[in-house]
Amino acid sequence: MPAPRVSAQSILDLLISEQILETDLPLEPNTDLFSQGLDSVAMMTLILQIEDRFGIALAPTEMKREAFATAGSLALFLNGKLAA
């Protein structure tokens, strides 16, 4: 099976480098992103960055809260899209 294109770490790096989330806590793959400030504006920036960085465009119907809950769940979701 080919290596996943999107890692949880790359999501975390993106959240920090693009200042999507600003937090003193070290972000882990299973940190709840909503509690760290993933609000509407941050979400918008995130999905635009996902498209720029990973070439993945998300359809409105794919926007499920569970997918965005953690960097880990998001990576899983995005890799699932790539494999499909």
Partner 1 sequence: MKTLSCDVLVVGGGSAGVAAALAAARQGAATVLIEQASQLGGMGSQALVHTFCGLYHPKVELGPQWLNPGIPTEIGEELLRLTGQAGPDLMGRYYVLRSHPAVWAALAARLVAAEPHLRCVTHAPLQQVRRETGQWQVLIHERGAPVDVQARALIDCSGDATVARLFAPELAETTAGQHLYRPAMVAVFPGVAEPLTDERRMELIAHVARAVKSGRVPAAAQAATFRSSPCSDEVFVSLDLEAGGEAWDPAREDQLQAAWATAQAAIQGLVTYLRAAHPLFQAMGECRWPDRLGIRESARWRGDYVLTGGDLISCRRFPDEVALAGWPLEMRETARGPKFRHFEHAEPAGIPLRSLQLSALPGLFFAGRCLSADHEALASVRVMGTCLATGQAAGVAAASLA
Can you give the binding site for partner 1, defined by CB under 8 A? 19, 22, 37, 39-45, 47-48, 51, 57-65, 68
Overall size of the chain counted in residues: 84
For residue 29, the number of C-alpha atoms closer than 13 Å in the C-beta half-sphere is 10
Nearest approach, Cβ of residue 71 and partner 1 (Å): 17
Are 71 and 12 contacting, i.e. CB atoms less than 8 angstroms apart? yes
Nearest approach, Cβ of residue 2 and partner 1 (Å): 27
In the complex with partner 1, which residue's Cβ is closer, 3 or 61? 61
In the complex with partner 1, which residue's Cβ is closer, 1 or 39? 39
